[in-house]
Amino acid sequence: MQTNNYDKQAQALAVSPLDGRYGARLQHLSAYFSEFALMRSRVYTELIFLEALDETGLFPPLTAKEKERIAFFKENFALKDYFRIKEIEATIQHDVKSCEMFLREQLGLRQPNMIHFGLTSEDVNNLAYSFLMRDYLHKAQLPRLKEVLNVLLIMVREWRSVPFPARTHGQMASPTTAGKEMAVYLSRLLRLYRLLKDFRFSGKLNGATGNYSALNAAFPDYDWMAFSRRFLQKHGLEANLVTTQIEDHDTWASYLNWVKQINNIILDLDRDVWLYLTLGYFILAADKKAVGSSTMPHKVNPINFENSEGNMQVSIALINGLVDKLGNSRLQRDLSDSTVTRNIGVALAHSELALQETLRGLKKLAVNEPYCLHELEAHPELLAEPIQTILRREGVDDPYALLKEVTRGQHITLKDLHGLIDQLDIRPEVKTELKNLRVSEYIGDAVRICDAVITRAEKEIG
């Protein structure tokens, strides 16, 4: 993305790396998490409430021209409008009331008291934030996650049968395939992808202490609880009808916790890929123009996975703080949640940046197949597991102890294993079966597991 000179200057002077170093890569998030976006969403909330209020028939109906002006500002809220609201706020020191006064100026309604009728500021704020997070989820976050899923899906397809060394406790363990290793992460992420696709934020629209008191005082014969439910459901939110002055933010916390789970899965992937690169099982395509070290020309660093790891850790730490804070407030409400809520975008932006970095890294990743095969062939002791299991089938007394004695902590060859097999009192065809075992072929149902995950992923993400 190209930036003008002003943007470059702003990025150079920014306090946060999200707006500075990474500003060009995260600029699209300003549509959801900037102060302008919040004000636009507040205005939108006021306007759709005004439309819903008109439908009740409790006020003289809006004229065609009034409806046109409402529709215009729903779609065309601009920076000049934002700055006008900020001018008003500079005088009255209240952001939501400033939105109301702005709309009184711009709409010129015959019944201006319909604007913000019976509402408290938190009716507008909780909905404005939920609309922004919902839009971010569906327009930015899920598409980015789908991008990661598609890259992993390609890897699972291409590497489904490529033999790959496995490690448990850092030690050589029963082999797997490179595709199966990636299938694990694909499967884990698919679960969260499905949950987020179906996720619905909640909202409240019930006045100063959650009792619809002002609305009922003005129109006691109208069912404001039913109105609230209809309004929230119409606009894609779950109706939270039992609240204090503020919406409890429990669904925000649920959403953020699911994002944290995604972050932790990606963090796990980053670290495993980093270790596999260190072990030589994966290799990275080198960018000929890039430099891996200021002094060591040979280096190809796994910087994308390291950058992702760092940003995921920041995102997780922020989400933990947000979840701990947003679920509680003194009595009906205190203002401490206001400044904290503004940092939701910061937490999600670090997660977005991390996903971008992981994608960059994955697209440069390849399996070092010759080295993986060499590594597997160099460890014939890995066949101790299938040998002792087959001997169990044959009724041999404590074959685990027998194999442990000759393999644990020792360097043995395939010839040594075959010599042991020759000494066993078992049927000749079983000896042949055991001698035909090969480490690189001892991958169990890894290919079928990959195929199952591939089928599931194709169904989920198309």
Give residue 65's pLDDT band: very low, low, confident or very high (50, 70, 90): very high
Per-residue pLDDT, averaged over 436-443, amounts to 96
Could you tell me the two tokens for 145?
């996650």
- pLDDT of 4 > 90? The answer is no
More confident residue, 5 or 295: 5
Q: pLDDT tens digits for 288-322?
A: 555 554 344 444 689 999 999 999 999 999 999 99
Residues whose CB is less than 8 angstroms from the CB of residue 289 and which lie 6 or more positions away in sequence, other chains included: none
Q: Could you tell me the pLDDT band of residue 338, with boundaries at 50, 70 and 90?
A: confident
The number of beta carbons lying within 10 Å of the beta carbon of residue 170 is: 8
Q: Which residue has the higher pLDDT, 102 or 8?
A: 102
Six-digit token string for 296: 């060591």
pLDDT tens by residue, 171-192 = 999 999 999 999 999 999 999 9
| pLDDT tens by residue, 111-141 | 999 999 999 999 999 999 999 999 999 999 9
Instruction: Say how far apart CA 225 and CA 238 lie, in whole Å.
Output: 13
Going along the chain from its start, the domains and CATH numbers come out as 34-117 (1.10.275.10), 122-368 (1.20.200.10), 379-441 (1.10.40.30)
Residue 436: is its pLDDT beyond 70? yes
Tell me whether residue 214 is exposed, middle or buried, using C-beta atoms within 10 angstroms of its C-beta: 0 to 12, 13 to 18, 19 or more.
middle
Structure tokens at 177: 């395939």
Tell which phi-psi region holds residue 340, choosing left (phi > 0), alpha (psi between -120 and 50) or beta. Answer: alpha
- Interval 7-17 mean pLDDT: 85
Which active-site residues does the annotation give? 169, 293
| Position 12 confidence tier, pLDDT thresholds 50, 70, 90 | confident
Say if residue 2's pLDDT is above 50. no
Q: Are 53 and 118 in contact (CB under 8 A)?
A: no
Query: What's the pLDDT band for 407 if we cut at 50, 70, 90?
Result: confident
pLDDT higher at 333 or 157? 157
pLDDT for res 295:
45
